[in-house]
Amino acid sequence: MSRITIPIGPQHPALKEPLSFLLTVEGERIVESALRIGYVHRGLERLFQDRSYVQNVHIAERVCGICSHIHTTAYCQGVEALLGLEVPRRALYVRTLLCELERIHSHLLWLGVLAEHIGFTTVFMYAWRDREIVLDIMEDLSGGRVAHAVNAIGGVRIDIENDHIPAIHARLDELERQMEMFLGVIQHERTFQARTRGVGCLTQEQVQRYCVVGPVARASGVAMDIRRDQPYAVYDELSFRVITADEGDVWARTMVRALEIVESMGMCRQLLDKLPEGPLASRAPRRVPAGLVISRCEAPRGELLYVIRSDGSDRPARVKIRTPTLPTLATLKDQLRGVHTADVPTILAGVDLCIACADR
């Protein structure tokens, strides 16, 4: 059979992320794939070195459009550790609340993207419609839908008023009902299963060999979660399950993420109920003592790692970001070998790539 080469990306209707694939296809089967990244490299890590620590909070926020808050959390946490700064508990609660809300919104966005890629437009519309519930909560709290500008070094900038809490609970109730519907579709809708089961399988060994993190790893049975393994912020005071699945295919990833949304909603409720009184920020000095710090967070897509080196001035000497997408990219060659061309978008969507994070 003759081979043809199909280009996918960097501009392609299927791929909202700027990466490029060259797929060599025999009939409808893929025999070879070549990946190219770097289309949205913006030199952000270098930019960090030219700005003060305060300004860098906003640079970190703009590394990624979806997981903006977790980037600032990782960054601020690192700088606070370098300063030896005690962050008020109320601030940590607000920070964690935003982290979990952001996880819900990121996972719902992803569910929509996956649904659209398998031609399930209705679920795409519903997922993005119901994502507005979370976005509304975040907009009311912080004034921004995706760029929240909540974190500051030493604390947070927003407060949650007590009379606002019932409204958030009510919205979470609404989302809970919708999540039940989504879980029903994921578990029972036949066409959905036909397109996602057995597609893009990764075994536990592969996951560990490629150092894959986050929901993709958890869907292959690797129970790793920074929130539990190395709790930051106030995660040690919350009760939650680490969701895992054994199948390792796109369906398992969907299931893990959907159940994680449910877990996150539970965590949001705990945070709102336990919210302690107190100040929102402690004053941070502008100059940061020399040193090196590693800050880890569980981003919606997996472990996010910031390495910050300070030389004692008011600007970091080096900021290195390791995003959860990077190891996942390496697995794509394995996942795409021998699959049907129709499954390529499903696989690419299934791992939830964030190229803006990975390219920086």
Partner 1 sequence: MRDVASAVLTILVFPGFGFLFVCALAFHWIDRRVTARFQGRVGPPWFQPFADFVKLLAKEDVLPVGAHERACALLPMVSLAAVLTAALHIPVGGYVVTSFEGDLIVVLFLLSLPALAYFLAGWLSASVFSVVGGSRALLQYFAYEVPFLMALAGPAILVGSWSVSRISGAQSGGLWTLLVQPIGFVLAFIGLIGKLKRSPFDIPKAKSEIGAGPLTEFSGRKLALWHLSLQVKTVVGIFLLVDVFLGGSGGGISLSGVTLFGVKCLLVLLALSVTGVLYARLRIDQLATMGWRVLAPLALVQLLVVVLVGG
Partner 2 sequence: MSRRSSLAHLLPELVRTLFARRATVRFPSEPPVLAEAYRGRGVVHAELCVGCGLCVRDCPAFALELEREGRHRFRLVHFEDRCAYCGQCVDSCRQDAIALVSEFPRASPCRTAFTRVLVTHEASEE
Please report whether residue 341 would count as binding partner 1 according to CB under 8 A: yes
Among residues 1, 13, 43, 190, which is the contact residue for partner 2, using CB under 8 A?
190
CB of 150 to partner 2, least distance (A): 10
Rounded Cα gap, residues 168 and 69, in angstroms: 19
C-alpha–C-alpha distance, residues 46 and 317, integer Å: 10
Pure H helices in 189-249: 190-196, 204-210, 214-219, 226-229
Contacted by 157, from partner 2, partner 1, none: CB < 5 to 8 Å by type:
partner 2
**Which stretches within the chain are classed as H helix?**
44-50, 53-61, 68-83, 89-117, 121-142, 165-188, 190-196, 204-210, 214-219, 226-229, 250-274, 325-336, 344-350, 355-359
25-29 contacts: CB < 8 A, separation 24 or more?
25/341, 26/1, 26/2, 27/1, 28/340, 28/341, 28/342, 29/338, 29/339, 29/340, 29/341
With the C-alpha atoms ordered 222, 224, 228, 230, is the resulting torsion angle positive or negative? positive
How far, CA to CA in Å, does 333 sit from each of 78, 117, 122, 219?
34, 19, 30, 18
Residue 14: which of partner 2, partner 1, none does it interact with, CB under 5 to 8 A by kind? Answer: partner 1
Residues 299-328 that bind partner 2 (CB under 8 A): none
Q: Shortest gap between Cβ of 115 and partner 2 (angstroms)? A: 11
Q: Out of 123, 216, 288, 305, which residue is the one contacting partner 1 (CB under 8 A)?
A: 123
Q: How many residues bind partner 1, per CB under 8 A? A: 32
We find the least distance from the C-beta atom of residue 302 to partner 2, in angstroms, to be: 26
Q: How far is the CB of 202 from partner 2 (least distance, A)?
A: 25
Does residue 54 interact with partner 2 by CB under 8 A?
yes
Contacted entry of partner 2, partner 1, none for residue 28, CB cut-off 5 to 8 Å set by kind: partner 1
User: How far is residue 285 from each of residues 97, 234, 279, 292, measured CA to CA in Å?
Assistant: 26, 24, 17, 17
Name which of partner 2, partner 1, none residue 55 binds, using a CB cut-off of 5 to 8 Å depending on partner kind: partner 2
The interface mask with partner 2, positions 91-130, x = CB under 8 A, is: -------------------------------xx-xx--x-
What H or E segment, with its residue span, contains residue 316?
strand 316-322
Q: Is residue 25 involved in binding partner 1 (CB under 8 A)?
A: yes
Q: CB neighbours of 195 closer than 8 A, spacing ≥ 6?
A: 118, 119, 120, 343, 346
Interface with partner 2: number of residues (CB under 8 A): 36
151 belongs to the binding site for partner 2 (CB under 8 A): no
To partner 2, the closest distance from the beta carbon of 341 in angstroms equals 27
User: Rg of the Cα trace of the chain?
Assistant: 21
Rounded to whole angstroms, the Cα distance separating 165 from 217 reads 34
Cβ proximity to partner 2: between 272 and 326 the closer is 272
Tell whether residue 317 is a contact of partner 1 (CB under 8 A): no
Q: Which residues contact 162 (CB under 8 A, 6 or more apart)?
A: none
- Name which of residues 92 to 121 contact partner 1 (CB under 8 A): 115-121
- Closest to partner 2 by CB, 57 vs 351, is 57
Position among 63, 85, 92, 185 found at the interface with partner 2 (CB under 8 A): 185
Residues in region 197-226 near partner 1 by CB under 8 A: none
Query: Does the protein bind partner 1 through residue 125 (CB under 8 A)?
Result: yes
> What is the contact surface with partner 2 in residues (CB under 8 A)?
51-52, 54-59, 61-62, 122-123, 125-126, 129, 132, 136, 139-144, 147, 149, 152, 157-158, 181, 184-185, 187-190, 193
